[in-house]
Structure 1
Amino acid sequence: MREKKIFSIRKKLLIIFGTLITVAGVIQGSLLRYTLQQVLTARVNAHLIDKVNDIALFITSDINGDFSFLRGFMRNPAMKDPSVSFTEKTQIVRRDFGYADSLNFFNICDTKGNSYYADGTVTFVGDTDWYKSAVSGVSFITEPHISTATKKLEIILAVPLLDSDRKVVAVLGAGLEGTVICDTVSDIEIGKAGNCHILGSDGTTIAHKDTSIVEAQKNAMELAKTDRSLTSIANFQRQALSASSSGIGYYTYNGKKHIAAYTKMQDTGWTIIIAAPAEEFLAAIINLQKMVIIIGIIILAVTL
């Protein structure tokens, strides 16, 4: 009877203390994981927002550099000489422009909307957004679009040519390959498997390291209407496009949860997004959770 009673008490003590240790370990581990997750998430969010803003400044600076390069042709005296025809001016600029032949087109427009090419061709472009902006004195870059003339994907850069009185006397337009901005974003690294991409005003992808996405002019929000697997990313992009300031969001793609930061480029209105699998940034939490479980098991075993 005495031996049976001692065994019963020992068994009860094992159950009681084992339960207490387990509950305490679970609570302590959960609190630790929650606290670390909050701290780490805040740091990751701040880091991603800083990075996406830096990228926006870099791309804006790159575009402004192209504008400055094109405006530099105005230093040629022929540009301000009214006796030189616009066709001749275009020919002069093309000779000075080392890689003009690699462009989709290159022209100089008068203030009436007529566009003059080096071969003597004249077309009317006065109804285009890029011309209207440049002739009003504001440089303009279009989103990638299919050219009605060449049937190719292109981006147009347009700058106003000013005289000594800062009056617009002509507009210089240059048509580039539509994937030219992809070269810039493809060099940007976000973690091991992340990427940087840019959305146009309607959500169409206008820059991505996978140029086929840009060439196909894919729009996740439109594709999600028939492809439910894109619903999560479409909702995130809708959030990014409607936001007036930088922010953080999450979406699931190919079965993986991604964390992403977004911001708008002030001059163009384009939305820059950087994204990467969340596990890349939150791996420390997963490792901590495993460590807490292992330590908890060891403590429970030693205590018992």
Structure 2
Amino acid sequence: MKSILKVKKIKTKLIALLLLLIAFTSLSISSIFIRHFYITTKQNIASDLQTIADDGALLVNEKINTTKTALEILSRMPELRDPNLHPREKAAIIDRELQYNKAFLRFSFTPADGTGFCATGPSYNAANSEWFRTAMSGKFFITEPYFAMMDKKFICLLAVPVFDGEKVIGVLGIDTLAESLSVLVKTTPVGQAGYCSINGRDGTVIADPDEGAVRDQENPILLAKSNQAFSQIGTFIEQSLNGKQEPSIVQYKGTDYIISASKVPISGWLFTARLPYQEFKAPIITSLFQMLGIIILIFIIADIIAIFFARRISTPLRNITTALQSISEGDGDLTASLPVNGNDEIAHIAYFFNKTIEKIRASILLVGQNTGIMQQIGDELSCNMTETASSIHQINMNIANVKQQVVSQSENVADAVSSVDEIKEAIEALNANVQKQVESVAASSKSIEYMVENIQEVAKTLGASEALIENLHQATSDGKETIGNSNTITQKITEESGSLLEASSVIQHIASQTNLLAMNAAIEAAHASEAGKGFAVVTDEIRKLAEDSATQGKTITATLKNFSNEIERLSGISHTVEETFNSIFTLADQVKAISNKITSAMQEQSSCSRTVLDTMNEMSGVTGEVSTGSANILRSGENIAKDIHKLNDSASVITDSMNEMASGAGQIDNAVTEANEITHKNKQSIESLAVEVGKFKV
């Protein structure tokens, strides 16, 4: 049942593959055709629209050119060059031409001063008008349609220069109805819903089927700046006015159009032809539905063909499946064969299938013959491998025990190496300390010798300073006694200076009394008149002498006061010096006592330093012997360390060898175990093979 389902699945795959291939091919061809049809249709429509626009622009150009030619002919009338005729009369003469063309409203004549006249009505000033300036420069000009209040209609003004020889003497103008332009665009067919339009030089709509756009003078270029709905049409018209623009798809008032434009050469206006994009898509959609119907028809036919060929391919495969199913699920009959019909791939499959079954049958016969021999060999190999595995396992256990003992010995040797290394490091540290001790003892011995020498020098210095200290003590004692005597004398001088001050006061008092007495004598001499003149001279001298005595007395008093102050100051200083000498004397006694103590201590220290020096010399000898012994111990320790390291290396080599032996033995054990298992599996496989071979019918 499973095989039948599989055959049906192959059949389904073949049908699906063929259908997908046909569908892909059909869709690809259809897509290419539709794309080509779309591009071709678009190009044709664009070309047709461009032709309509070009023809419309040419028609407008010819229409304007015809009016221009008529104006130029009228401008050559001799009456227009007659200076005796008034401009209004000239306009009236030309007005007679109006009866021949109803599209013409009125003529006007404007002389060089810019004052224009029609046959009737008031004059006007056209000096600043563009059409007047252009015509006066010798060129033709046409205005864009504008709404004339007088006529209540849109009109165009055409102007040509009037020459008198080579000189422009005025401008001949004509007003025409602009309705003819709207009639032209309305009567120009563009598809079913398309239309034409004319835009002025600035983009303003001047002719359009929509009269409201003309009446409102709609300008898409200006509207595009404020209204997004006019952006595409405004851009297209602006670019077309500025140069040649290819047909494009634009949106205008909510509708997509294919638009083409052509410029009117004589006026600079833009003639556009527009076709709704929906009308362009209609034939494409129709073609698309037609192509879809063709594809469906092709798909149905392809489905029938695919089913037919799938059945032809699947029938031989079903026969092969039935034969293989009989071999696999039935009695294993290898004598079966398939019929070989035809000369295609299916027939080749049946032929080679029969050959393959014959080879399998021959192989099964040979396998059946050798299966018994392989069973006997497998039994013997299984017994031998079991015994070998047991022996190898016992050898592996013995090697593991030896390995354990070698590992234990290696660990003990490693511990011994570690201990010897620690002893060696301790001996090295001890030897280093001994060397430092030897150096320290030697340095200490030298320091003590130097200290003993310094102590002896200090003792000598103290001995010499004792005499100096004794002399200082004696001198201090003498100075103390002298200062005491000096202080006593100073006290006496101070007391005597007080008596001198009292004597000075007495002298000043005597001088004062003498001066008073001299003044009284002078007064009496003045009373005695001439008789007392001599006595007056004497009293005057006595008075002067008294004044001098008083002055000297004051000077002596001041000097004595200063002397008394200095004596008091000297007395204070003497007292201070006496106290200082007392302190120096006390300190000298203390220095003498301390010097005696230092001398005694230095003598004791010198004796002790001698003893220490002798002890250090003995210690230096002992330390030298210890250093020699430590060096010998260090050399012995290094030799022991070398020997123990050699022993450790040997133990490591033995351990590595045992590890390799154990690893090899383990691998051998594993290999033998696996071989034993493989042998048993081989035995089971041979038995299974014999059973399976017995299932085939050969």
SS at the partner of 2:99?
A: coil
Aligned equivalents of 1:260 and 1:155: distance in 2? 26
- Contact 1:247-1:263 at 8 Å conserved across structures: no
1:114-170 Cα offsets, whole Å, 9 max, x none, are 10132362221011111111122212111123458778643211122223x243222
- Contact 1:179-1:211 at 8 Å conserved across structures: no
1:89-130 Cα offsets, whole Å, 9 max, x none, are 112222332279986653210011110132362221011111
Aligned equivalents of 2:91 and 2:102: distance in 1? 13
Give the Å deviation of 1:54. 2.2
Say yes or no: does 1:60 pair with 2:46: no
150 and 39 in structure 1: CA distance in 2 versus 1, 3 angstrom threshold = closer
Aligned equivalents of 2:240 and 2:200: distance in 1? 11
**Greater alpha carbon shift after TM alignment, 92-101 vs 66-75:** 92-101
SS at the partner of 2:187?
A: coil
Corresponding position of 1:302:
301
Q: Return the letter of the residue paired with 1:285.
A: I
Note the 1:1-304 alignment, pairs <5 A: 1=1, 2-98=3-99, 106-119=107-120, 121-147=122-148, 153-163=154-164, 165-242=165-242, 244-245=243-244, 247-253=246-252, 256-281=255-280, 283-304=282-303
Give the Å deviation of 1:47. 3.1
Q: Return the letter of the residue paired with 1:167.
A: K
- Contact 1:260-1:275 at 8 Å conserved across structures: yes
SS at the partner of 2:247?
A: strand
Q: Return the letter of the residue paired with 2:79.
A: A
Q: How many residues align?
A: 302
Aligned equivalents of 1:237 and 1:121: distance in 2? 39
212 and 99 in structure 1: CA distance in 2 versus 1, 3 angstrom threshold = farther
Aligned equivalents of 1:103 and 1:274: distance in 2? 27
Query: Quick check: which has more Rg, 1 or 2?
Result: 2
**Greater alpha carbon shift after TM alignment, 290-299 vs 140-149:** 140-149
Q: Return the letter of the residue paired with 1:67.
A: K
TM-score, with structure 2 as normaliser: 0.40
**Greater alpha carbon shift after TM alignment, 293-302 vs 66-75:** 66-75
- Contact 1:179-1:215 at 8 Å conserved across structures: no
Give the Å deviation of 1:39. 3.0
Aligned equivalents of 1:241 and 1:77: distance in 2? 40
- Contact 1:87-1:118 at 8 Å conserved across structures: yes
- Contact 1:40-1:282 at 8 Å conserved across structures: no
Query: Aligned-residue CA RMSD in angstroms?
Result: 2.7
Specify every segment of 5 or more residues in structure 2 that has no aligned partner in the other structure, as ranges: 304-698
Specify every segment of 5 or more residues in structure 1 that has no aligned partner in the other structure, as ranges: none
1:50-104 Cα offsets, whole Å, 9 max, x none, are 3322221211111011112223333543222211111111122223322799866
Give the Å deviation of 1:229. 3.3
TM-score, with structure 1 as normaliser: 0.87
1:181-209 Cα offsets, whole Å, 9 max, x none, are 21222221111111111111221111112
SS at the partner of 1:98?
A: helix
- Contact 2:65-2:266 at 8 Å conserved across structures: no
Aligned equivalents of 2:117 and 2:275: distance in 1? 46
Aligned equivalents of 1:155 and 1:295: distance in 2? 58
Which gives a bigger RCO, structure 1 or 2 (Cα 8 Å, sep 6+)?
1
1:254-289 Cα offsets, whole Å, 9 max, x none, are 554321111222222211111112344454433322
SS at the partner of 2:128?
A: coil
- Contact 2:75-2:160 at 8 Å conserved across structures: no
Aligned equivalents of 1:47 and 1:246: distance in 2? 15
- Contact 2:75-2:172 at 8 Å conserved across structures: no
Q: Return the letter of the residue paired with 2:200.
A: G
Give the Å deviation of 1:24. 1.9
Aligned equivalents of 1:49 and 1:102: distance in 2? 29
Aligned equivalents of 2:274 and 2:195: distance in 1? 6
1:202-232 Cα offsets, whole Å, 9 max, x none, are 2111111222211110122333445433333
143 and 84 in structure 1: CA distance in 2 versus 1, 3 angstrom threshold = same
Q: Return the letter of the residue paired with 2:56.
A: I
Quote the sequence identity (%).
29
Aligned equivalents of 1:36 and 1:281: distance in 2? 12
SS at the partner of 2:300?
A: helix
- Contact 1:159-1:171 at 8 Å conserved across structures: yes
Q: Return the letter of the residue paired with 1:112.
A: D
Aligned equivalents of 1:110 and 1:100: distance in 2? 25
